[in-house]
Amino acid sequence: MVTAATRAQELYGRPWIEREYIVALDSYFANREAPRHIQSPYIKDLSNLLGRTAASIVMRMENFASLDPDEQPHRRGLVNISPICRRVFDKWKDNPSSLRDCAEVYAREIAGGQPNNLSLFEANVLLPRAFGKYDLLDQLGEGGFGSVFSCVNPDSQQRFALKIIKADRVFDSEGMHRFRREIKILRSIEHPNLIRLHEDNLDTEDAYPGFVMDLGVTNLLEYMQRQPDQGGRPVLPGHEAAFIWKSVLDAISALHSHSPAVIHRDINPSNVLQMGDGRWVLADFGLAKFVGGTPMSFATMTRSMCGTTYFAAPEQYRDLKLTDERTDVYGLGVLLWELFSTEWPPPVTESSGLPPQLDLVFRRTQARSPAQRYQTVKELAADAIPALASIVES
């Protein structure tokens, strides 16, 4: 019997496993001074041994270099590293002789006929590739319905993100409906501040859909956590915080002005990604819906499926059928608070900790009754943009 997990591997390839990381890390330390590109001899040797493309090996070497305190970091790929990769590096980096012994054992096992062995695949593609062209790299995260991996196109050496439905959701009709709807939304809307979909298999794969999208450098939550300690909040300069918030506002405006309109329903820092060119984009449409579309059955929904704590509007917990554009107004308000407030946690009943120019704007976004909030993001922008400008200029 072919399981959902087996079917996923057939479609999208095999994720890296711990022994591959160990063998690759040993090669990294042994070739620290050597060039890292697809024609490097040690890259080719490791590619042949593991049955991974040279482009994916180079990406792994860049990951290790980014974690290596003794090397000038190659920041590309720094945050796109799975927990297992970080754990292997931390465990072995100070034990080179033990690492070498362990890696040699694993290398002999692989060369002796384990599934990684190149000789098993030399007549065909080394490993199954997502959409016939992308090699799977690291699992970057997962939500209620989907798992996200980094992947690389071996020909162009470009990196992307691949999202597939989780194996335990394949037979969940509502989960499948939500995942397929996410793909349809991303297909239908294109905007500089929305994550871009490159391709999907929605029309050809009924049981295990997936899609390829841009790979972010980091998300806003991680970005803020990496800022130097300023002794309190906010952690970002006013002009940068304003730029990020305006980027998300523009993304939501594009969704709401689309026909049919789309509401996101999960605006939070983890879903705001920085791209390599400096843009900030809104991602993760797992909770999004077309306005007027078929609502999910609330009886089968859990609290975690209603949104993100602090950022979800009250109506999301009462009845998802009641959500509309004003739900995103609420989320934008909390994001404004996140970027500019001196307080924690939200919401604060007496003092918001926001500059006076933003305090009234924030409070109007946070009304428990949607009827008392800004009714559209255009109304919100009319008050918020001048307020932000005055903060940046002060």
Tell whether 230 and 327 lie within a shared domain.
yes
Contact 83, 13 (CB under 8 A): no
Residues 374-392, mean pLDDT to the nearest whole number: 95
Query: Is 90 exceeded by the pLDDT of residue 129?
Result: no
Looking at the DSSP bridge assignments, the partners of residue 274 are 218, 280
Tell whether 97 and 40 lie within a shared domain.
yes
Q: Is residue 128 part of a domain?
A: no
pLDDT of 126 reads 46
Which carries the bigger pLDDT value, residue 126 or residue 277?
A: 277
pLDDT of 130 reads 86
16 CB contacts (<8 Å, ≥6 apart)?
Answer: 52, 60, 82, 84, 85, 136, 137, 138
Query: Is 70 exceeded by the pLDDT of residue 73?
Result: no
Mean pLDDT comparison of 71-75, 211-215, 307-311, 351-355, highest-scoring range? 211-215
Burial 233-253, CB ≥16 within 10 A → b, else e? ebbbebebbbbbbbbbbbbbb
Looking at the DSSP bridge assignments, the partners of residue 281 are 273
281: domain CATH number is 1.10.510.10
The burial of 74, by beta-carbon neighbours within 10 Å (0-12 exposed, 13-18 middle, 19 or more buried), is given as middle
Tell whether 222 and 208 lie within a shared domain.
no
Looking at the DSSP bridge assignments, the partners of residue 289 are 263
Distance CA 274, CA 299 (A): 36
pLDDT of 70 reads 81
Q: At what angle do helices 54-67 and 83-92 cross, to 10 degrees?
A: 60
Q: Is residue 76 part of a domain?
A: yes
pLDDT of 360 reads 93
pLDDT of 305 reads 54
Q: Is residue 11 part of a domain?
A: no
Tell whether 205 and 222 lie within a shared domain.
no
Query: What confidence tier does 318 reach under pLDDT thresholds 50, 70, 90?
Result: confident
Q: Is residue 244 part of a domain?
A: yes
Query: In which domain, by residue range, is 154 found?
Result: 135-214
Q: Last residue of a domain, which of 184, 214, 244?
A: 214
Query: Is 60 exceeded by the pLDDT of residue 203?
Result: yes
Distance CA 190, CA 188 (A): 7
Lowest mean pLDDT among 149-153, 164-168, 234-238, 242-246: 164-168
Beta strands in the chain (DSSP E): 135-142, 146-152, 159-165, 197-200, 210-214, 218-219, 262-263, 272-274, 280-282, 289-290
164: domain CATH number is 3.30.200.20
Looking at the DSSP bridge assignments, the partners of residue 135 are 152
3-state secondary structure of 393: helix
CA torsion angle 198 205 18 88 (round to 10): 30
Q: Is residue 2 part of a domain?
A: no
Number of domains in the chain: 3
Query: What confidence tier does 28 reach under pLDDT thresholds 50, 70, 90?
Result: very high
Tell whether 184 and 86 lie within a shared domain.
no
Tell whether 250 and 382 lie within a shared domain.
yes
Tell whether 233 and 103 lie within a shared domain.
no
Q: Is residue 9 part of a domain?
A: no
Contacts by residues 350-358 (CB-CB < 8 Å, ≥ 24 positions apart): 353/233, 355/387, 355/391, 357/387, 357/388, 357/390, 357/391, 358/384, 358/387, 358/388, 358/391
Structure tokens at 2: 């072919």
Tell whether 48 and 158 lie within a shared domain.
no
Query: Is 70 exceeded by the pLDDT of residue 210?
Result: yes
Single-letter code of the amino acid located at 262: V
Lowest mean pLDDT among 95-99, 294-298, 369-373: 294-298
Distance CA 3, CA 185 (A): 28
Q: Transcribe 182-222 into DSSP letters.
A: HHHHHHH---TTBPPEEEE-TTT-SSS-EEEEEPPSEEHHH
Tell whether 246 and 334 lie within a shared domain.
yes
Structure tokens at 377: 């993001």
Tell whether 191 and 246 lie within a shared domain.
no
Share of the chain above pLDDT 90, in %: 57
Q: Last residue of a domain, which of 120, 154, 185?
A: 120
pLDDT of 1 reads 52
Q: Is residue 130 part of a domain?
A: no
Tell me which residue of 16, 160, 140 sits closest to 80, measured CA to CA. 140
Query: What confidence tier does 116 reach under pLDDT thresholds 50, 70, 90?
Result: very low
Which carries the bigger pLDDT value, residue 230 or residue 151?
A: 151
CA 116 remoteness from chain centre:
28
Q: Write down the mean pLDDT value for the chain.
A: 86
Q: Last residue of a domain, which of 120, 152, 186?
A: 120
Tell whether 180 and 108 lie within a shared domain.
no
Query: What confidence tier does 114 reach under pLDDT thresholds 50, 70, 90?
Result: low
Query: Is 60 exceeded by the pLDDT of residue 2?
Result: no
Beta strands in 188-333 (DSSP E): 197-200, 210-214, 218-219, 262-263, 272-274, 280-282, 289-290
Query: Is 70 exceeded by the pLDDT of residue 169?
Result: yes
Tell whether 360 and 376 lie within a shared domain.
yes
Query: Is 70 exceeded by the pLDDT of residue 294?
Result: no
Residues 38-55, mean pLDDT to the nearest whole number: 92
